[in-house]
Amino acid sequence: MTWTNKKPRRKRLLAGAAAVAITVAAFAIRTNAAETIDVSDLTKQTHIHGLAVDRQDPSRLLIATHHGLFSAGADGKAERISQVQDFMGFTPHPSDPTKLYASGHPAQGGNLGFIASEDRGRTWTQVSPGANGPVDFHQMTVSPADPQTIYGTHRGLQVSRDAGKTWTIAGPGPEGLIDLAGSAKSRDTLYAATEAGLLVSTDAGRSWKPLVQGAPVSLVEVTPEGTLYAFVLGRGLVKAGEPPVGLETISSGFGDGYLLHLAVDPKNPKRVFAATNGGKLLSSVDQGRTWTALGQPNP
């Protein structure tokens, strides 16, 4: 299995991951008259850039894509809830259920800078162009320990200490970066999923130490309560408390596949959702130990 670098998207994918086909013209998703679409069809028509459980309605999963933001229910039906644009770095606020953050591209091209929504993703405004912007944060995370602290990557690792209004360059960022996650214990602790493994920084991204070596890590996520999840290629989905001392493997058997995005229900941590490199959306009711396709009954 070979790790290959495509365009520097939010996630660098393994060879063959680009098999998720974009089957429609730019910024056109085929939906029915009610603007709904099966999630299985949605993932064939666009790329997923992030997931979040709707904190005001935990029965709904928010799906950030290359062609807008969608909301899906347990029946596997999704509706578009935002204007059409590419949502990169999609990140929910760790405690305010109405706030979402993102970056990316508008339909007409260019970069969006750092953008925010205060109505659960229906409308968005630019908070800041970022440092040397307008930026396009492919990786972004809000610190659960201090939601005023936000990290993003665009021509280096950037940090904001005032909820995204102003940004500075913290450092170059780890080589082969795939994903970022802020710690629930300290605003200066940051985890990085990279092509070489899982790293941790305790000085706001100025220096890094390895936690997992020898295999690519395709995602890292930290819940507001302090549970760290990561997907290690060749091993599977792992988790640990903070600070991570030993990583428990909670599910494997993905073969050549891997998980790209993860969302945990903050009100029920046993409910977990994931997006795979093959364009599937999965759900779990046992904290990621077993999975079913979104829209199918859980065992």
- Per residue in 182-218, pLDDT tens? 999 999 999 999 999 999 999 999 999 999 999 999 9
Range of the domain at 93: 17-293
Mean pLDDT (the chain, rounded): 88
The domain that contains 44 carries what CATH number?
Answer: 2.130.10.10
Neighbouring-strand partners of residue 217: 232
| Continuous segment of H or E residues that includes residue 41 | helix 39-45
DSSP string, 117-134: ESSTTSS-EEEE--TTSS
Cβ 39 vs Cβ 63: under 8 Å:
yes
Find residue 32's DSSP bridge partners: none
Helix (H, G, I), strand (E, B) or coil at 51: strand
pTM of the predicted structure, to 2 decimals: 0.89
In a domain, 164, yes or no: yes
Instruction: Confirm whether 158 is domain-assigned.
Output: yes
Residue 22's pLDDT band, with cuts at 50, 70 and 90, is very low
- Assess if residue 298 is contained within a domain: no
Does the residue 52 lie in any domain? yes
Domain count of the fold of the chain: 1
The answer to whether residue 201 sits within a structural domain is: yes
Question: If 0-12 CB within 10 Å is exposed, 13-18 middle and 19+ buried, where does residue 119 land?
Answer: exposed
User: Which residue, 112, 100, 93, 25, is CA-closest to 70?
Assistant: 100
- Report yes or no on 11 lying in a domain: no
- The C-alpha angle 209, 165, 199, rounded to 5 degrees, equals 10
Residue 299 forms part of a structural domain: no
| Three-state secondary-structure class, residue 95 | coil
Note whether residue 10 is domain-resident.
no
